[in-house]
Amino acid sequence: MRTQAIMVLAASLGMAVGAYGQQGSELPFSAYVDQQGSIRLPKEIRSHWVHLGSWAVMDKNASGYGFHDVYTQPEAVAVYQESGQFPDGTVLVKEIREIVEGELTTGQARWAAAPKVWFVMIKDKKGRFPNHPNWGEGWGWALFEAKDPATNVSQNWQQDCRSCHVPAQESDWVYIEGYPTLKPLHSQK
C-alpha cells in the first residue's frame, strides 16, 4: 500500500521514478526536466493542478503588466502544508495573461484573457545541475512565451530571475504571501 501511494505521489509530481516503477540514477528526476537539465512547460496546470493565487499588475508600463496566476501540483501543496517546505520535484508555474476590460452587469470588469508567458520554477533539493545556468539556489528557472511554448527563452537565471526574487529569499525564493493555500494552513501550526 505504502509503495503504491509513493508511486502515485511520485508520478503525479511528474517524477520519472514513479512513472517507470523503478529507481535509477540514469533517469531524470522530473517529467519536466531532461537529463541535461533542460526544462519543459507542463501542459496540465489549469485542468489538474492547484491554483495557489493570483497577482494583478495593472500598470500598462510595468514589466509585469497582466494577470498572474500561480499553479502547482496537488501533492506539493499537501507536503508544504505539513512541512512548510516544497518537496523535491515541485513545479511552480506562473501564467501571465492579458488584461481586458468591459462594462458587464456586475460593473466595470477586468478579466484575464490569452496567455502571454509562463514562468516556471522546479524544486531540486539535490543540486543535480551545479553548472547549469538555468539552475541555482535549489530551483530550476525557466521562461516560456505563448508564441513558442516549447522553448525556454531564459538563458541564465542569475541574469533573468535572481535579483527580482531576492526579496523572497527567506521563503525559499517564493512570494508565498500571495498563496493563502500554503501559508495560513502552515502558520496555524
Give the binding site for ligand HEC (CB under 6 A).
55, 57, 63-64, 68, 70, 92, 94, 119-121, 141-143, 154, 157, 160-161, 164-165, 168, 174-175, 178
Which of 173, 171, 170 has the alpha carbon at shortest distance from 161? Answer: 173
Which C-beta is closer to ligand HEC: that of 101 or that of 177?
Answer: 177
The CB-of-35 to ligand HEC minimum distance in angstroms stands at: 20
Which C-beta is closer to ligand HEC: that of 19 or that of 165?
Answer: 165
Q: Which amino acid is at 128?
A: R
**Contact between residue 116 and residue 146 where contact means Cβ atoms under 8 Å apart:** yes
The CB-of-148 to ligand HEC minimum distance in angstroms stands at: 15
Which C-beta is closer to ligand HEC: that of 50 or that of 92?
Answer: 92
Q: Which residues have CB under 8 Å from 58's CB, separation 6+?
A: 65, 99, 110
The CB-of-2 to ligand HEC minimum distance in angstroms stands at: 31
Q: Which amino acid is at 2?
A: R
60 φ/ψ angles, rounded to the nearest 5 degrees = -60, -25
The CB-of-23 to ligand HEC minimum distance in angstroms stands at: 28
> Within 13 Å and on the Cβ side, how many CA atoms surround 173?
21
53 φ/ψ angles, rounded to the nearest 5 degrees = 170, 175
Which C-beta is closer to ligand HEC: that of 29 or that of 119?
Answer: 119
